[in-house]
């Protein structure tokens, strides 16, 4: 049946669209169809028009028309297409559509047997899945099986592409990855890799990359899946060749990177070392587009993040460092973030690589700029880059001091950023406070001790760890005034809380801090005169707690330092309970506890020092001499020498 179409423009206002919207509610399917088509055409490319028609409440009506099985198929198809068009609007538009139940309705419609309607719904679902970062749809096993049924070898290219795109957004957790793997996705996607069409291959590889990210079980399944006797990694290796489209190369390299990081392909495999890595380095070069370079650099950062051999191979690659520096000049956030991430990975382990990066012209200037950037992602990437580069001992003494990197770092920390940024910044601070760093004194003047003391009371264990760790570094061979400042800022109650911390790493660093506070010998007596009872109470708390030998070893080492002080050792000698514990540990089966206990006793009984004879006599009465005689036959040379 023919019906009259009224003219429309691409930017109709609310008044001119009202008549079409009224017809949307007509019982006449032809009027309804004409209305949907006009609305669809009016919103194409215009977020303003999308907002206008959404504000008039058409979404529930479109959903109703889509799910109404008694409605003409053509109306339902146009409803799906229009919803898909609205889903290309703003985040608010997409969120409204999702909250209206669009996705579940589409999944229900896919159970029907109307080919063109299914095509429209798949396209709509693809748009909804990828346009929204807030799309948290949980697909059931039945949903996944149904979607995969549209990706078989006899299905159209459009369907295959849509399904791969939809499912790549359905892999946000290990549960979802495992579910998709369990319904046979790797086998189906392996078949699709052989399809000679990049509109299918690219989303398929993207989906495989999402499936295996951080999931060793799924990654192993993918690596061992074949099509026509060719395993998926070998297919992927052919897709990163220079003659492939850049998007194809990037996605294949990203998938291989994820398979490697998930533990399914070793770093020494030629596919990683000689294919994936060189491909990513090549795509970082200046002749490629900014967007492609950014993605390549970000993937390269992830590939090389934890493997020192890959870091070395990448660092010697042709002009990579200069290409990444050039990327830092780009306007996009993604480009600069990726470059900082790549530098952080490359410099994670090797001193020579760090020096080469730091010596690159303008690099440190860019890092300092990044620390103060208005964008949170840039600040975080710059801080992590600084943390990686600050592992260089020589550069802490020279380049870092020349650029005063501590200044923007302190500013960033003082601004109370989010936990992620605070953790990264405090990690970098730990390195800047090492004993040989010239930045220590100016940072002390800027109130770093109080800032770190505040970190130790944070709820996040990583922040507590970094706070204590930095204070431990600061206390190492520090002046007496600095140590007193640390103890005053922390306070006795906080030290005890840290010694009772549920995170063993925090406890170990707190013991390390106490050990640094009561050494060297020139500081021991002063520190114990001021804080002796609290320190002894803390040590006893650890020795009596249900801790590992490695933890108790640190507590015994603190006692060893205290025993070295001329007056400080009286805190041990006057405490019968501590003396008995020391004697018990002298015969402990764990060498890591025996050795510091004997070391402590040795310091207490050292000849030629005031009160030595009296201490020797008291310890002899407690049976120490007999134990030492028994230890003369030990095979432990360290223990024997002590």
In this predicted structure, what is the pLDDT of residue 115?
Answer: 96
* Among candidate residues 107, 137, 167, the one where a domain is terminated: 137
Query: Does residue 301 sit within a domain?
Result: no
* Among candidate residues 102, 118, 137, the one where a domain is terminated: 137
d(CA 299, CA 277): 10
Query: Does residue 48 sit within a domain?
Result: yes
Residue 576: domain span? 544-642
> In this structure, what DSSP letter does residue 565 have?
S
> In this structure, what DSSP letter does residue 114 have?
-
In this predicted structure, what is the pLDDT of residue 628?
Answer: 79
- DSSP reduced 3-state for 58: coil
> By the 8 A CB rule, do 345 and 304 touch?
yes
The structural domain count of the chain equals: 2
Burial environment of residue 164 by CB neighbours within 10 A (0 to 12, 13 to 18, 19 or more): buried
Query: Does residue 258 sit within a domain?
Result: no
Q: What is the CA radius of gyration of the chain?
A: 33
Segments of the chain scoring below 70 in pLDDT: 1-18, 131-135, 393-403, 633-642
In this predicted structure, what is the pLDDT of residue 128?
Answer: 92
Query: Does residue 473 sit within a domain?
Result: no
∠ CA 153-155-161, rounded to 5°: 90
Query: Does residue 205 sit within a domain?
Result: no
Tokens of 598: 């004997």
* Among candidate residues 70, 103, 137, the one where a domain is terminated: 137
Tokens of 202: 């690219």
Query: Does residue 76 sit within a domain?
Result: yes
Tokens of 326: 């050039």
> By the 8 A CB rule, do 102 and 86 touch?
no
Q: What's the CATH code of the domain at 104?
A: 1.25.10.10
Q: How many CB atoms lie within 10 A of CB 84?
A: 23
Tokens of 522: 């020139």
Query: Does residue 245 sit within a domain?
Result: no
In this predicted structure, what is the pLDDT of residue 641?
Answer: 63
Tokens of 123: 């396209």
In this predicted structure, what is the pLDDT of residue 394?
Answer: 66
- DSSP reduced 3-state for 227: strand
Give the C-alpha distances (Å, rounded to integers) separating 216 from 130, 177, 259, 476, 620: 25, 11, 8, 41, 59
Query: Does residue 5 sit within a domain?
Result: yes
d(CA 31, CA 139): 35
């Amino acid at each position: 049946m023919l019906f009259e179409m009224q003219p429309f423009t691409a930017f109709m206002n609310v008044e001119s669209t009202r008549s079409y919207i009224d017809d949307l509610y007509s019982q006449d399917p032809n009027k309804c169809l004409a209305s949907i088509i006009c609305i669809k055409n009016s919103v194409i490319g215009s977020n303003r028009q999308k907002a206008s028609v959404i504000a008039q409440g058409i979404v529930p009506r479109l959903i109703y028309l889509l799910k109404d099985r008694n409605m003409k198929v053509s109306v339902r198809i146009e409803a799906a297409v229009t919803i898909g068009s609205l889903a290309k609007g703003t985040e608010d538009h997409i969120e409204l559509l999702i909250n209206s139940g669009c996705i579940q309705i589409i999944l229900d419609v896919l159970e029907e047997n109307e080919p063109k309607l299914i095509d429209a719904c798949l396209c709509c679902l693809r748009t909804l899945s990828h346009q929204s970062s807030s799309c948290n749809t949980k697909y059931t096993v039945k949903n996944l099986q149904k979607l995969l049924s549209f990706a078989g070898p006899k299905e159209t290219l459009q369907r295959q592409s849509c399904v791969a795109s939809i499912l790549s957004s359905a892999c946000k957790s290990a549960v979802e990855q495992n579910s998709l793997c369990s319904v046979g996705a790797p086998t189906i996607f392996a078949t699709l890799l052989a399809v000679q069409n990049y509109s299918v291959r690219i989303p398929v590889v993207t989906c495989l990359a999402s499936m295996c990210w951080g999931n060793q079980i799924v990654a192993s399944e993918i690596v061992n899946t074949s099509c026509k006797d060719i395993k998926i990694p070998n297919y992927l290796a052919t897709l990163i060749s220079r003659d492939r489209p850049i998007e194809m190369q990037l996605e294949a390299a990203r998938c291989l990177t994820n398979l490697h990081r998930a533990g399914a392909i070793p770093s020494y495999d030629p596919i990683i070392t000689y294919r994936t890595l060189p491909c990513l380095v090549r795509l970082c070069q200046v002749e490629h587009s900014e967007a492609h370079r950014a993605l390549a650099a970000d993937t390269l950062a992830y590939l090389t993040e934890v493997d020192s051999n890959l870091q070395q191979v990448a660092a010697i690659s042709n002009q990579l460092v200069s290409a990444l520096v050039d990327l830092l000049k780009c306007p996009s956030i993604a480009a600069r973030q990726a470059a900082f991430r790549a530098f952080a990975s490359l410099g994670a382990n090797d001193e020579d690589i760090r020096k080469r990066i730091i010596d690159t012209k303008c690099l440190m200037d860019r890092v300092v700029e990044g620390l103060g950037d208005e964008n949170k992602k840039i600040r975080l990437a710059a801080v992590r880059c600084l943390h990686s580069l600050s592992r260089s001992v020589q550069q802490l003494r020279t380049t870092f001091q020349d650029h005063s990197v501590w200044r923007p770092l302190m500013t960033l920390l003082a601004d109370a950023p989010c936990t992620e940024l605070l953790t990264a910044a405090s990690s970098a601070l730990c390195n800047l406070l090492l004993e040989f760093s010239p930045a220590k004194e100016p940072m002390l003047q800027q109130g770093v001790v109080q800032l770190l003391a505040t970190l130790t009371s944070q709820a996040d264990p990583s922040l507590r760890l970094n706070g204590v760790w930095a204070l431990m570094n600061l206390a190492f061979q520090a002046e007496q005034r600095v140590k007193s400042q640390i103890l005053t800022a922390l306070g006795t109650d906080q030290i005890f809380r840290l010694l009772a911390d549920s995170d063993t790493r925090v406890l170990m660093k707190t013991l390390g801090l106490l050990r640094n506070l009561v050494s060297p010998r020139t500081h021991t007596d002063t520190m114990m005169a001021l804080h002796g009872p609290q320190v002894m109470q803390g040590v006893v708390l650890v020795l009596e707690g249900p801790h590992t030998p490695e933890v108790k070893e640190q507590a015994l080492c603190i006692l060893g330092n205290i025993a070295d002080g001329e007056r400080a050792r009286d805190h041990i000698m006057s405490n019968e309970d501590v003396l008995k514990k020391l004697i018990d540990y002298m015969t402990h089966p764990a060498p890591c506890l025996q050795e510091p206990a004997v070391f402590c006793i040795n310091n207490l009984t050292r000849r030629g020092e005031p009160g030595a004879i009296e201490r020797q006599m008291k310890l002899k009465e407690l049976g120490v001499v007999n134990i030492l005689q028994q230890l003369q036959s030990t095979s432990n040379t360290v223990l024997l020498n002590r």
